[in-house]
Amino acid sequence: MYQVDFYTTQSGNSPPADFIQHVEVRVARKILRHIQHIKMYGLTLENRYLRKLTGSNLWESRILGKDNIRIICYALGDKRVVVLNMFSKKSNKTPIKEIEVSIQRLKELTNIS
């Protein structure tokens, strides 16, 4: 089993947790089900919802369908995963802005740890 944490700012805010709080209940359930898959399989291709983002060490879990939610994660150590970002995706490609936000959060996290 993997430990999954949400990115939290130094002031104690967690944008991924806030995202879950502000979506419909059925969407939140889908997100939590994807988080459960990450807890079970980690960031591996055994989890069919995951794909590695090209040119980075980030992974993206995809909730497909009309909700089209993305969860961007990073592996910290052997059995620890941090959820850096969650967002609704409206285009075919993952927005560069969302990837940059995730990379910035990762830099903050690795400087603190």
Q: Could you report the per-residue pLDDT of 24-78, keeping only the tens digit for each?
A: 999 999 999 999 999 999 998 888 889 999 888 999 999 988 889 999 999 998 8
**Is the separation of the CB atoms in 16 and 86 below 8 Å?**
yes
Residue 91's alpha-carbon distances to 32, 36, 58, 73, 99, in angstroms, are 23, 26, 19, 20, 14
**Is the separation of the CB atoms in 59 and 73 below 8 Å?**
yes
Question: Phi and psi at residue 79, in whole multiples of 5°?
Answer: -125, 25
Rg, the chain, Cα only: 13
Angle at 54 (CA atoms; ends 51, 57), nearest 5 degrees: 75
- All domains in the chain, ordered by first residue: 3-112 (3.30.2310.20)
Supply the pLDDT for residue 46: 84
Q: Does the pLDDT of residue 113 top 70, yes or no?
A: no
